[in-house]
Every structure is written in C-alpha cells, then in structure tokens.
C-alpha cells in the first residue's frame, strides 16, 4: 500500500518532469527570499505551488478510468498520496506563513490556499468551472479603487477563509465526479495530433478524447477537412504520380491536422489561453516577455514529431510496403521531409498569438512585435523541430532537452526583441536573421542526417521510456 501511494504521489513528476523541475527551481529561489519577508517571493512561491497542484490534477486526470477504481485499495493509496501532497504543498506553507507573518495570515493562507488547490484540480479536469475563476480574477482588475476599499473589510474578515474551505471541498467533489463519471470511454485519435489544453491526460493524449461538446465539434470539423484533403491529394497523385505529389500525399496522411481548419481549431484553443494569460498579467507586463510566452505556445505542437513518431512506428509497415522504396534510407528521408509540414502551422500560430498579446498590452508596439516574430519564428520553428526530431529514449536526457528548448525559445525571443528594439529592424534584424538561420539550418541538417542513419523500426514504443 505504501509503495502504491508513493508511486501515485510521484506521478506528476513522471508525466511532466520538466515542469516539476522548473517549479522546483522557482520554489528554491523563493524560499531564501521569504525569510526576508519579501512579498514578491511569496507571490512566486504561491505561483509555483499552484502550478504544482495543476500538474497533480493533470496526473489524476491521466489515470481517470472506470477500471482504475477496481484496482485493489486504489482509493486508500490515492488518499495517502493526496495527504502527503497536502502536507508538503499546503499545510507546510501555511505553517511557514504563520512563522514568518502572523496567525491571521496563516488562517487566510489555509482557506484561500485550499480554494486555489481546488481550482487547479478542477481546471486540469477540463471543467468550464476552472475558466470562471479566470473571469473573476480578470474582472477584478477592472473594479474601481473605491469599490476595492469598500470590500477590503469583507475580504480580510475571519469568516471568509472558512467559506473558502467549504467551497474548496465542494469543488474537489465536483472534480472527482467529473474525472470518474459512468460511461467514460476514450476514443482513439491520430498519434500526430498536436496537443490542446482541453484534452484528457498528459501522458495519454494520443488515446484520449476531449470532453466538451464544443471541442468535439471543432475536432470533427477539422477532421472533415483532413479527410477531404487526403482524398484530393490521393486523386491527384494517382492521376499523375510525381515525387512532389507523393510528398504532399504523405504529409496529408501523417499530419492530418496540419491544414487551415486544424490551425484554426488550435488558434481558438491556445489563443484563448494566451488571451486569458495576457489579461491576467495586465498592462504592467512587458510586451516582449508576454510575446515570448506566446511564441512558446505556438511551438508546442512541434513536439508531436518526437513524441508521436514512436507511437506511429507499428503503423508504418503497411506504408513501407505500399511505397516500396529502393532503400531504407530513402523511405526515412521521405518521412523526415514530410515532417516539415508542421512548420507553417507553428509559424502562423506565432503570428496569431503574439498579435493577440501585442494588441491587448501595447497596440503601438504591434508592428514591432510582428517584425520580431517574422525574423524569429521561421528559424526558431525549424531549430525546435530539429531538437525534437531525435528525442532520446532515456527520460532524464529527454527532459533536459525539453527544458533547454523551452528556455531557449523564450530567451531567444526576449533577446531578439530587445535587439531589434534597440537597433531597429535593419541593424538589429539582419544580424539576428543571419545568426538564427545559420543555427537552424545547421541543426536541421545534422538532425535529419542522424534520423535517416538510424535503423528502420516498426516496433511499438517501450512503455518504460515514456515514449
């Protein structure tokens, strides 16, 4: 029992090791500052703890199956794991708040912390109720200062944290009923489907089905266009077989969601995330930093190549015999060249998301943000695809590559944004183009050659590697 509880408690780290590592670094940086009673450090620690609970909710979501409840003593092991998390990431911070500040601050942290935890778990379950909290937070930013002063006594009252505790218990109950409803049967999807923020499970995205009716309709609308595109390209190829039409047909087969409707669905889902994030940070945030985060969102779909290809290997046998290539290397070269079909969607997504951020935060900087995106997005997308193309099977090495890639994406955008802002599009943009394209082309050439040189495999991925 204890071993099962420990495995459940460590599950968020196994599903999102790079996320847990970054949040751990944030907590490690905030703790020394907390002893100096730095309010900014308290906000940083609260932000990291909230995201940890968001990952915990996503981990629970990944095992939310009817048959999971039939496992021996599953509920007891889950309760023990949840108790351990509550002790480390809720009650211990409450105790620290009481020692650093006073009992009133600890009582408020207890109640509001429980409500934040319930919000994180509910939001990660895919419930629309998780969005309502963002609506309240964003709406609160626009309340007049006089109204805030009038509400201050109520917000600092002793009974409000108790109400927050009761509301948190209710929300956790709703989250549990949502994660383990009757008749929850997942539907299969393509292994190369780009991730979206409303899918079930972090480790099971290829086999999971979105819950909301709107998302199902949007995905169905995209799949109709994907099917029509595949039929059209097949007809064109059979009429006049050429190498170019074969590559086009292969891209439509392997990347069905890389077409206009698929991009629009992605923009709608991730664009909503960018919109909420931009409104939440407010006009005090730097537009270049927010645009960097928006660019990171645009590049997330490129990881489907590195993570989706191992899952697709068992299905490539029939394709191999249908294409009848002269050599294994020729077959792999056709496959790797078809992966370039993910770049247009990532580049256009970068323009859409950074435009949303710029228009909301600083409309006067909109053109400057678009110029920076035009300089950065194409080579950054190619370099990111190259890094994700040959993800190692070892979990630790793969995690390191993902962490370096995430920080590299955002750091590069911030650096180039400052460079172009300082020296202008000509003197800042031209050197940036030369440097980024030089690195991107070199990285892609090396990654492509390495991928083609690897032995051809049709076996399913090793579950232990997390592929």
pLDDT of residue 87: 92
The three-point CA angle 114-120-123 to 5° equals: 135
**192: phi then psi, degrees, rounded to nearest 5:** -95, 10
The C-alpha torsion from 130 through 134 and 137 to 140, rounded to 10°, is -120
pLDDT at 464 exceeding the cut of 70: no
pLDDT of residue 66: 72
DSSP state of 340: G
Burial of 62 per CB tally in 10 Å (0-12, 13-18, 19+): buried
The mean per-residue pLDDT over the stretch 416-439 comes to: 78
Q: Are 350 and 413 in contact (CB under 8 A)?
A: no
What does the pLDDT look like over 197-228, one tens digit per residue?
444 333 344 344 445 577 788 888 888 999 99
DSSP H helices in 208-302:
213-239, 243-254, 260-281, 287-299
Q: Are 444 and 382 in contact (CB under 8 A)?
A: yes
Which tokens in the block code for residue 323? 């294409």
pLDDT of residue 85: 92
What does the pLDDT look like over 289-306, one tens digit per residue?
788 778 878 887 787 787
Other C-beta atoms lying within 10 Å of the C-beta of residue 103: 9
Q: Are 420 and 372 in contact (CB under 8 A)?
A: yes
pLDDT of residue 137: 64
Q: How far is CA 52 from its chain centroid?
A: 14
What does the pLDDT look like over 438-450, one tens digit per residue?
888 888 998 899 8
pTM more than 0.75: no
What does the pLDDT look like over 223-279, one tens digit per residue?
899 999 999 999 998 898 888 888 888 889 888 889 999 999 889 888 877 887 777
What does the pLDDT look like over 70-99, one tens digit per residue?
788 888 888 899 999 999 989 988 888 888
What does the pLDDT look like over 409-418, one tens digit per residue?
667 777 777 7
| Cα–Cα nearest to 354, from 371, 339, 338 | 371
Which tokens in the block code for residue 238? 């059979």
pLDDT of residue 214: 75
pLDDT at 352 exceeding the cut of 90: yes
The mean per-residue pLDDT over the stretch 172-189 comes to: 69
One DSSP character per residue, 20-74 reads HHHHHHHHHHHHHHHTTT-HHHHHHHHHHHHHHHHHHHHHHHHT--GGGGGSTTH
Mean pLDDT of all residues in the chain?
Answer: 78
């Amino acid at each position: 029992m204890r071993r099962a509880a420990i495995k459940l408690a460590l599950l968020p780290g196994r599903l999102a090791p790079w996320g847990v590592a970054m949040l751990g670094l944030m907590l490690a940086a905030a703790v020394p500052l907390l002893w100096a009673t730095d309010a900014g450090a308290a906000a940083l620690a609260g932000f990291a703890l909230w995201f940890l609970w968001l990952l915990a909710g996503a981990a629970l979501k990944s095992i939310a199956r009817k048959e999971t409840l039939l496992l021996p003593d599953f509920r007891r092991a889950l309760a023990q794991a949840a108790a351990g998390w509550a002790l480390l990431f809720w009650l211990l911070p409450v105790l620290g708040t009481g020692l650093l500040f006073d009992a009133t601050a600890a009582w408020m942290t207890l109640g509001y912390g429980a409500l934040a935890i319930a919000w994180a778990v509910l939001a990660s379950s895919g419930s629309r109720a998780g969005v309502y909290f963002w609506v309240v937070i964003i709406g609160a930013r626009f309340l007049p200062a006089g109204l805030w002063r009038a509400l201050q006594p109520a917000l600092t009252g002793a009974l409000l944290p108790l109400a927050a505790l009761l509301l948190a218990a209710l929300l956790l109950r709703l989250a549990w009923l949502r994660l383990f409803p009757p008749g929850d049967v997942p539907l299969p999807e393509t292994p190369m489907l780009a991730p979206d923020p409303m899918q079930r499970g972090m480790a099971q995205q290829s086999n999971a089905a979105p819950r909301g009716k709107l998302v199902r309709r949007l995905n169905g609308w995209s799949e109709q266009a994907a099917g029509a595109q595949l039929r059209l390209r097949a007809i064109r190829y059979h009429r006049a077989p050429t190498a170019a039409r074969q590559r086009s047909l292969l891209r439509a087969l392997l990347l069905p969601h890389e077409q206009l409707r698929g991009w629009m669905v992605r923009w709608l889902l991730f664009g909503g995330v960018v919109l909420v994030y931009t409104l939440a940070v407010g006009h005090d945030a730097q537009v270049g930093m927010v645009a960097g985060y928006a660019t990171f969102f645009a590049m997330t779909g490129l990881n489907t190549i590195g993570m989706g290809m191992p899952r697709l290997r068992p299905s490539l046998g029939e394709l191999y015999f249908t294409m009848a290539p002269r050599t294994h290397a020729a077959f792999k070269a056709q496959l790797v060249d078809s992966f370039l079909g993910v770049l247009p969607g990532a580049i256009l997504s970068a323009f859409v998301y950074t435009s949303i951020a710029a228009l909301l935060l600083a409309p006067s900087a909109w053109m400057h943000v678009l110029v920076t995106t035009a300089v950065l997005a194409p080579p950054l997308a190619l370099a990111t695809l190259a890094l994700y193309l040959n993800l190692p099977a070892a979990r630790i090495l793969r995690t390191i590559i993902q962490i370096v890639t995430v920080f590299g994406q955002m750091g590069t955008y911030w650096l180039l944004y400052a460079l172009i802002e300082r020296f202008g599009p000509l003197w800042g943009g031209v050197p940036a183009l030369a440097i980024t394209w030089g690195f991107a082309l070199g990285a892609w050439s090396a990654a492509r050659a390495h991928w083609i040189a690897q032995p051809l495999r049709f076996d399913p991925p090793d579950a232990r590697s997390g592929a």
